[in-house]
Chains A and B, each alone.
Chain A
Amino acid sequence: DSGVTQTPKHLITATGQRVTLRCSPRSGDLSVYWYQQSLDQGLQFLIQYYNGEERAKGNILERFSAQQFPDLHSELNLSSLELGDSALYFCASRQGTTNTGELFFGEGSRLTVL
């Protein structure tokens, strides 16, 4: 158990819909990272937050947005869903303020868009 909690574990929805994925980082961790994992693309970095502020942005689509709340949990919002958005979405957290140190991953949220 990494200490990172993601909900829901599985989600099935239709094209055009909107979903919210939630992540609770490890106790004390200020940084939250979101990754998308699909079969052929490995782990794609989406976005990172540190203590409520956006720190880095990767290949995140405009239809996707995220935020980190004062209690440090984070949410990833996916809208106007397309079939290609079906993937495993991982949240990871890290404690420090520097750009080093291991990431602790949650078990992921598997999104299926039909």
Chain B
Amino acid sequence: GQQVMQIPQYQHVQEGEDFTTYCNSSTTLSNIQWYKQRPGGHPVFLIQLVKSGEVKKQKRLTFQFGEAKKNSSLHITATQTTDVGTYFCAGRNSGYALNFGKGTSLLVTP
């Protein structure tokens, strides 16, 4: 079945440093979504990418979808303590199941 892999599993940065998490799928995806889960909270939707090579920005966050639609990345510029949490990618192929990666836990120290 479809698997979505995410790296790194953990990342510890100093406030102001950049952060990137990568997501790779074993199969071509129809779309990919990104979610953020704060400690003790539930996943909250950030964005959806649909087109090959698509790039979207949300303030300091930049999301990319690979040309082959099998990989994606999330880059945060100049991290802040409010960025702390676990970032998940979730991919969907032609079916209805939305499969999440294991997530990247980001810790930001001031």
Q: How large is the interface on A (under 10, 10 to 19, 20 to 34, 35 or more residues)?
A: 20 to 34
Name the contact of B42 in the complex, choosing from A56, A102, A107 (C-beta under 8 A): A107
Contact A99 B101 (CB under 8 A): no
Q: Does B33 interact with chain A (Cβ within 8 Å)?
A: yes
Cα of A68 to Cα of B99 in the assembled complex, Å: 20
Contact B97 A100 (CB under 8 A): no
Known: A102-B33, A102-B48, A106-B42. A56 touches B100 (CB 8 A): no
Contact B43 A100 (CB under 8 A): no
A58 partner residues in chain B, CB cutoff 8 A: 97, 99
Further pairs besides A42-B102, A107-B42: 5, Cβ < 8 Å = A33-B98, A43-B103, A99-B92, A103-B45, A103-B98
Binding site for B on A (CB under 8 A): 2, 33, 35, 40-45, 48, 50, 55-58, 90, 92, 99-108
